[in-house]
Amino acid sequence: MVQGKEVFVQDLKPNDRVDSIFIVSDKKVLPTRTGKYYVSIKLTDRTGSLPAKIWDSGGVEFSEVPSAGPVRVTGRVELFENVLQVIIDDIRSVPPDQVKSEDFVPSLDREEMVRLKDELRRVFYGKLSCRYYRALWDAFLLDKELQKGFVKAPGAVKIHHSYLGGLLQHTVGVLRLVDAMCDIYRELNRDLILTGALLHDIGKIREYSYDLELGVTDEGRLLGHIVIGLQIFDSLLKKVGSIPEEKSLLLRHLIASHHGQLEFGSPKVPMTREALVLHFADNIDARLNELNRLYDETEKQTLWTPYQQRYGTQFYIGPDSEVLTGAFRENNTGSDKSAQLSLDEILKQRTGGI
C-alpha cells in the first residue's frame, strides 16, 4: 500500500510533533562535548531538507539507523542556533514501492509537462522541411521508453531545471531560442538546429537517477550525458535507416560541442554557426532558470541576492512588480486615501527602512 506524506519540510515549525516519511541521507556518527555519541542525518522531501539528530539516550540503535532511502520518522522539531532540526524518537525504513516519488522530488506541474510536450510536436515538428530530420524526430517521439525518461528527467541535479520535467522544459526553452534566432539570421539551417536542440541533452535521461531523489548514475559519472547522448543518437539512426553522412555528422557535432568549451566537458568546441547558436541558447536558458530560482528564494525584504561565487557578483532584484501592484491595489480600493502607499514607502518596507 502506498503511503502518502502527512507533513512536508516547509510546513514544520518549532515545537511541532513529526510523524511522516522523508528521504534520509548524510548519516554520520559524531561525538558530543561530553564524549558520548549521536547520529546526524539529513531529512529531505520535495519542499526542502533539514538536519536531524538521534541521541544515544533515545533508545534507537545507531547501527540500525538507515543511511539512505525512504524512512518514517517520529520526533519533535526544535530551533537550534536559528536552524530548524528534528530530534528523532524513532526511525524506520519504508519500502520504496510504498511511497510516491512526487512527494520527495520537486516536479514541474503535470499540466505544464503535457503543454510542453504538445508544443514540441505541434510547433517545432511542424517547422521541419527535411525528411531526414523529420524521420529522426519521428523515431524519437515514437520511442515510448525514451519519451518516458525525457518527460520525467531533470535538467540537472542542482544548478538549473533540477526537478522532474526539467529536461523537457529546458529542451523546449532552447528550441524556442534557436527557432527565434533562425527568424533573425536566415543563414542558419533551421532543420539542423531544431533537431540538434531536441537531442543536445538527451543523454541526461540515463545520466541522472530521479526516482526518490535526484542523483547521478554510474553510467553518468563514467561517461557523462554528451557521450550517452551520442549513443542514443546512434540508436535513433538505426531506426531511421541511412541518412546523408554530412547531416549525421553535423548533428553529432551539435551534441558533442553544445557545452562550448573543452573545460566544460565538450570534446569539441562549436565549429559551425548552428553549433555556436545552440551553445549560447543552451547557456541562456540554463542560466536564466538558475537566476529565476535564485530570485524566488531570496528574501523579499532585500533588493539584492546573496553573493554568487559562480558569477563573482550579487544580482539586483529590484522592487517585485507583483508585490508593488498588490500593495497599490489593496490600498487604493478603500475610501481612506491617507492609507495609500507611495512607491518610496513600499521600497522602505522592503528594505527595512534603509
Fold of 9-98: OB fold (Dihydrolipoamide Acetyltransferase, E2P) (2.40.50)
Question: How much is the CA Rg of the chain, to the nearest whole Å?
Answer: 25
Q: 3-class DSSP state for residue 299? A: coil
Please classify residue 229 by burial: count the beta carbons closer than 10 Å to its beta carbon, then call 0-12 exposed, 13-18 middle and 19+ buried. Answer: buried
Grid cell for residue 32: 558530543
97: confidence class by pLDDT, cuts 50, 70, 90: confident
Cα distances (Å, whole numbers) of residue 4 to 104, 197, 249 = 11, 38, 49
pLDDT tens track for 309-330: 888 998 988 775 343 333 323 3
Structural contact between residues 196 and 279, judged by C-beta atoms closer than 8 angstroms = no
Q: What is the pLDDT of residue 335?
A: 36
Q: Which range in 39-48, 203-212, 271-280 is most confidently predicted, on average pLDDT?
A: 271-280
Q: At residue 64, what is the residue type?
A: E
Grid cell for residue 97: 514501492
Q: What is the pLDDT of residue 330?
A: 32
d(CA 18, CA 67): 19
Q: What is the pLDDT of residue 337?
A: 40
Cα distances (Å, whole numbers) of residue 331 to 139, 326, 340, 347 = 57, 8, 5, 15
**What is the rounded average pLDDT of the residues 181-198?**
97
Structural contact between residues 42 and 139, judged by C-beta atoms closer than 8 angstroms = no
The segment(s) of the chain belonging to CATH 2.40.50.140 are 9-98
Q: In terms of pLDDT, which residue wins out, 3 or 196?
A: 196
Q: In terms of pLDDT, which residue wins out, 106 or 256?
A: 256
pLDDT tens track for 244-262: 999 999 999 999 999 988 8
Neighbours of 310 (CB within 10 A): 8
Fold of 105-293: Hypothetical protein af1432 (1.10.3210)
pLDDT tens track for 37-74: 899 999 999 888 899 999 876 567 787 889 889 999 99
